[in-house]
Amino acid sequence: LQRLENAARDARENLMPFLMDAVRAYATLGDMCNTLRRVYGEYKEPALV
């Protein structure tokens, strides 16, 4: 997951190989999503009235 986080910080890096490595290491979807959230944050839809 650390390698995935480092790759996510590099805008030129393809994340798919790192995601596949995480899956092969039995990381859960939640683990991978939390790792990417630390780098990219979480989208919050603006409230329009």
Angle between helices 16-24 and 29-40 (to 10 degrees): 140
The pLDDT assigned to 33 comes to: 98
For residues 32 and 19, is the Cβ–Cβ distance under 8 A?
yes
Using the structure block, give the residue that is written with the tokens 């859960």: 28
Coil vs helix vs strand at 25:
coil
| pLDDT at residue 49 tops 90 | no
Residue 7's domain comprises 2-40
For residues 31 and 1, is the Cβ–Cβ distance under 8 A?
yes
Looking at the domain assignment, is residue 33 inside a domain?
yes
The tokens describing 32, both together, are: 């991978």
Looking at the domain assignment, is residue 28 inside a domain?
yes
Q: What confidence tens digit (pLDDT) does each residue in 10-24 have?
A: 999 999 999 999 999
Looking at the domain assignment, is residue 36 inside a domain?
yes
The pLDDT assigned to 3 comes to: 98
Looking at the domain assignment, is residue 49 inside a domain?
no
Q: Is the pTM of this model over 0.75?
A: yes
| pLDDT at residue 31 tops 90 | yes
Read off the pLDDT of each residue in 15-35 and give the average, rounded to a whole number: 98
Looking at the domain assignment, is residue 24 inside a domain?
yes
Number of domains in the chain: 1
Looking at the domain assignment, is residue 20 inside a domain?
yes
Looking at the domain assignment, is residue 25 inside a domain?
yes
Looking at the domain assignment, is residue 35 inside a domain?
yes
Q: d(Cα 2, Cα 6) in Å, to the nearest integer?
A: 6
